Amino acid sequence: QSLQTKEGRLLHRFREGHSSVAANIDDYAFVIWALLELYEATLETKHLFKALEYQSHVFAYFRDDRDGGLFFNAYDAEALLIRPKELYDGAIPSGNSVAFMNALRLSRITGDVEMDERAHEIYRAFSGQVEAAPTAFTHFLCGLDFAVGPASEVIIAGKMEQPDTQALLKTLRISFAPNKIVVFRSESSEQPDIETIAPYVQPYRSINGRATAYVCSNFKCSLPTNDPDQMMDLLNKK
């Protein structure tokens, strides 16, 4: 059974063979987070396309155009006395905190400046609350740490099935390097799907016939390398 409407919007619950109730901001934020983790684990662009689709729903249906931040319920959902905006991060982070980080990650992956501005709208909406009681907003602070840096972008160009590509990816995955995004530009096709949503990766090609890593910070890149250890040295210097 599907937890989507025929228009592609998420639904909140599935019970006894029936799905219904419009999804709230928490539903969207956590599904997008899961899709971003799936992309980083598999580097299959279909997960990014779906994450971007749902992210567009977030800003279309939950955004507070006047004061910033994201309402808990969509503007066309069942009417409530008020439309709350939740930020407190308990055992489970709030939808606003997760959506803040999601927008930051997507903006770095795609190079979308407008997405970055949307993320900073969320920050500006809640900055006073966070400053007053920072320990109540721990996941939001993770997003803030990612936003102000240092953060890195790692672009890998190569063919997924090749051992040299796998060596670079394995090294990235076994090493703890927070505040980074990884983008894979496949050279197995003439027009990689990733270029559709991240046009800036088009010039990044493999060098010397081997998978190549470009380690960047705010899209300013070090010299490319084919060596996994050198890649990590560059990443750890950012």
Give me the residue spans of the domains in the chain.
Answer: 11-148, 152-237
Cis peptide before 150 (omega within 30 of 0): yes
CA distances from 159 to 39, 92, 186, 227 (A): 16, 38, 6, 16
Strands (E), 56-103: none
11-148 shares its CATH topology with 152-237 = no
CB 24 within 8 A of CB 76: no
* Domain at 152-237: CATH code: 3.40.30.10
The CATH number of 11-148, from 2.40.110.10, 2.40.40.20, 1.50.10.20, 3.20.20.450, is: 1.50.10.20
Contacts 24+ apart (CB under 8 A), 57-61: 57/9, 57/10, 57/28, 58/25, 58/28, 58/29, 58/32, 58/99, 59/118, 61/9
Spatial neighbors of 22 by CB under 8 A, at least 6 apart, are 9, 11, 12, 73, 74, 76, 77, 78
What pLDDT shows up at residue 12? 82
Among residues 168, 148, 157, the alpha carbon closest in space to that of 234 is found at 168
What pLDDT shows up at residue 11? 84
What pLDDT shows up at residue 29? 98
What pLDDT shows up at residue 218? 84
Radius of gyration of the chain (CA): 19
Residues paired with residue 212 on neighbouring β-strands, in sequence order? 157
DSSP labels, 211-231: -EEEEEETTEEPPPBS-HHHH
Alpha-carbon torsion (157, 160, 165, 167), positive or negative: positive
Query: What pTM does this model have?
Result: 0.93
* The pair of three-digit structure tokens given for residue 210, joined into one six-digit string: 């081997």
Among residues 2, 106, 113, the alpha carbon closest in space to that of 49 is found at 106
CB 123 within 8 A of CB 139: no
Please state, in angstroms and rounded to a whole number, the distance separating the CA atoms of residues 171 and 102.
24
What pLDDT shows up at residue 191? 61
Q: Which residue has the tokens 């950012």?
A: 238
What pLDDT shows up at residue 238? 65
Going residue by residue through the chain, which has 238 residues, state the pLDDT in tens, using 9 for 90 and above. Answer: 588 888 888 888 877 667 777 889 999 999 999 999 999 999 999 999 999 999 999 999 999 999 999 999 999 887 777 889 999 999 999 999 999 999 999 999 999 999 999 999 999 999 999 999 999 999 999 999 999 988 999 999 999 999 999 999 999 999 888 899 999 999 987 667 899 999 999 999 999 999 999 999 988 999 999 999 999 999 988 6
